[in-house]
């Protein structure tokens, strides 16, 4: 794969990573516990795996914004356009101008929203259909679905999914669309209507429902680039299931970042979102 055709991914080195506040259940009891050196090594290992199959671009980590390392929350990208995040919590609001500036300086057509929306943490494009899965209930405002539908136009269908388990506060912690059109997800993180919406749109043979043990290891918070699926950790059973569908699992420990409620997918943002094209 040449540099011209490789996927493009945004990452942020964890120069100032820490757990300095508590805005999700994973942070409870973890204040001040982050091992910065270990986090840096884990991030470098992830960076190396992503770099094997993608071109990685970097944004500088700004002091005082420890969660800026989770670039999935920078915004939503679609075909050269960007909707920057508008965070629910004041602790993360300071990230907004830095990500917005980064997008603008690289010629993305930037469209801000004035309602709470946490980017590709809560908005994930399907790989088999012209569809955007949109999570709400903890961070992003449900009204963002209407705004995103207007931004995307008729070519993409926005499907709202209500999240009900606070441990899975962003959609990308419990759902991962895969390149072959499969959907890996943790059903218990969603309400009945959301599960029905998924089942109505994704045939049973393409749904990969994970159990709670894998979900709690953030197996759904995966970076999927082609056949490669990069995760913090996954069970042998899940790895075998993914292999049967043609995917190659690459596990790399990211437990320092789990202290802040994030893992592999949270630490990356796809910049050339393929939409209807193959991932």
* pLDDT per residue as tens digits for the range 95-106: 999 999 999 999
Distance CA 63, CA 81 (A): 27
Catalytic residue among 12, 174, 220, 266: 266
61-84 average pLDDT score: 98
Structural domains in the chain, CATH included, are 8-270 (3.75.10.10)
Catalytic residue among 138, 170, 182, 220: 170
Active-site annotation holds for 170 = yes
Phi, psi at 253, each rounded to 5° = -60, 135
Active-site annotation holds for 89 = no
Phi, psi at 8, each rounded to 5° = -110, 135
272 close to 279: Cβ distance less than 8 angstroms:
no
pLDDT tens, residue by residue, 104-158: 999 999 999 999 999 999 999 999 899 999 999 999 999 999 999 999 999 999 9
């Amino acid at each position: 794969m040449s540099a011209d055709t490789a996927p493009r991914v945004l990452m942020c080195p964890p120069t100032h990573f820490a757990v300095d506040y508590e805005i999700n259940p994973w942070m409870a009891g973890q204040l001040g516990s982050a091992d910065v050196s270990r986090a840096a090594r884990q991030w470098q290992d992830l960076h190396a795996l992503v770099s094997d199959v993608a071109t990685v671009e970097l944004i500088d980590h700004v002091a005082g914004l420890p969660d800026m390392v989770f670039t999935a929350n920078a915004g939503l990208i679609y075909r050269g356009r960007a909707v920057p995040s508008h965070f629910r919590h004041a602790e993360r609001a300071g990230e907004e101008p830095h990500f917005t500036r980064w997008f603008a300086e690289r010629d993305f057509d930037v469209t801000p929203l004035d309602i709470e929306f946490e980017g590709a943490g809560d908005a994930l494009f399907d790989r088999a259909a012209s569809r955007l899965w949109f999570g709400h209930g903890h961070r992003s405002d449900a009204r963002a679905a209407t705004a995103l539908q207007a931004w995307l136009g008729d070519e993409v269908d926005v499907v709202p999914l209500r999240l009900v388990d606070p441990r899975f506060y962003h959609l990308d912690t419990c759902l991962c669309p895969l390149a072959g059109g499969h959907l890996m997800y943790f059903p218990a993180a969603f309400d009945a209507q959301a599960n029905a919406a998924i089942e109505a749109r994704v045939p049973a043979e393409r749904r990969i429902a994970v159990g709670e043990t894998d979900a709690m290891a953030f197996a759904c918070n995966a970076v999927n680039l082609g056949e490669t699926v990069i995760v913090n950790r996954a069970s042998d059973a899940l790895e075998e299931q993914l292999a049967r569908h043609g995917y190659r699992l690459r596990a790399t420990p990211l437990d320092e970042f789990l202290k802040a409620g994030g893992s592999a997918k949270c630490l990356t943002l796809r910049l050339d979102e393929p939409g209807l094209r193959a991932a």
